């Protein structure tokens, strides 16, 4: 449930709860299990010196590429493999199945420009990625939430016109073996910076990065270094059931 940040609208694929839900759940015996954060990032940020130094050191080893739409199914498996490995030790993580990740990809396949998905390779092996999504809620609000019978036509026109000025980063991962290493930091910075530059050319001014576990110190440190703003808090609840 959303527990902080009610003054701004939700971005695409994010919920927006009523303020009183939190107290209602607590009245029914539910307690906080974990908090997740959403950050607002002005993509015109100046890369910190640490980012520039690490990128320069490893730039010759890291190769960035975009999604190969002609090999969409295979690319979805590449992203799923990286993501499941990268997140395997995070609290509460359950690996995506092939069917689940495929469904997610197909639902966004024609709505997300392929250059919004950046994959980093080391020696030809995909080891990190970031996926961005245009904030389609900007368009949906203009359609009053209705895609039928002619909303789809308007949706496509608005997407092509590049009138969307915000986005969201829902998926990002660096393979576990590179996490907490200098080259892992370079990989993270690389997949952050490439879509940032592309977003600027598409007219994007700011993006939300979500969800971020509150105890995910490495990711939060990166976000702090680029002057992002923690602007929403979501809460997962748990309740002990009677035997």
CATH number, domain at 177?
3.40.630.30
Share in percent of the chain as helix, strand, coil (round to 5): 40, 25, 35
Q: Distance between CA 125 and CA 116 in Å, rounded?
A: 20
- Identify the pLDDT of residue 145: 67
Q: How confident is the model at residue 30 (pLDDT cuts 50, 70, 90)?
A: very high
Residue 208 token pair: 């939300």
Is there a domain that residue 227 lies in?
no
Is there a domain that residue 241 lies in?
no
Residue 237 token pair: 């609840």
Task: Please count the other Cβ atoms lying within 10 Å of the Cβ belonging to residue 177.
Answer: 12
Q: Distance between CA 235 and CA 239 in Å, rounded?
A: 13
Q: What is the largest CA-CA distance in the chain?
A: 59
Q: How confident is the model at residue 17 (pLDDT cuts 50, 70, 90)?
A: very high
Is there a domain that residue 19 lies in?
no
Domain count, the chain: 1
Strands 229-238 and 31-42: antiparallel
Q: How far apart are the first and last CA of the chain?
A: 26
Q: How confident is the model at residue 68 (pLDDT cuts 50, 70, 90)?
A: very high
Let me know: does 132 contact 115? Beta carbons within 8 Å.
Answer: no
Is there a domain that residue 116 lies in?
yes
Mean pLDDT of the chain: 89
Is there a domain that residue 215 lies in?
no
pLDDT at 91 over 90: no
Enclosing domain of residue 164: 40-210
pLDDT at 138 over 70: yes
In tens, the pLDDT along 141-194 reads 777 767 677 777 777 777 677 788 999 999 999 999 999 899 998 998 888 888
Is there a domain that residue 32 lies in?
no
């Amino acid at each position: 449930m959303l527990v902080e940040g009610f003054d701004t609208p939700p971005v695409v694929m994010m919920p927006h709860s009523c303020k009183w839900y939190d107290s209602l759940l607590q009245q029914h015996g539910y307690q906080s299990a974990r908090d997740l954060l959403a950050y607002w990032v002005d993509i015109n940020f100046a890369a910190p010196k640490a980012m520039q130094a690490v990128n320069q050191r490893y730039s010759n080893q890291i190769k960035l590429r975009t999604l190969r739409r002609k090999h969409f199914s295979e690319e979805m498996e590449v992203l799923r493999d990286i993501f499941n490995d990268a997140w395997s030790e995070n609290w509460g993580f359950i690996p995506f199945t092939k069917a689940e990740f495929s469904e997610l990809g197909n639902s966004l396949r024609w709505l997300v420009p392929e250059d919004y998905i950046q994959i980093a390779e080391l020696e030809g092996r995909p080891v990190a990625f970031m996926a961005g999504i245009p904030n389609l809620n900007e368009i949906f609000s203009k359609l009053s939430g209705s895609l039928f019978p002619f909303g789809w036509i308007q949706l496509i026109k608005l997407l092509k016109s590049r009138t969307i000025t915000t986005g969201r980063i829902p998926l990002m991962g660096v393979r576990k073996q590179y996490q907490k290493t200098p080259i892992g930091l370079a990989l993270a910075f690389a997949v952050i910076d490439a879509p940032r530059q592309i977003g600027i050319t598409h007219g994007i001014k700011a993006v939300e990065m979500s969800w971020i576990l509150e105890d995910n110190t490495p990711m939060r440190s990166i976000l702090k270094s680029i002057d992002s703003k923690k602007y929403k808090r979501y809460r997962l609840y748990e309740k002990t059931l009677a035997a």
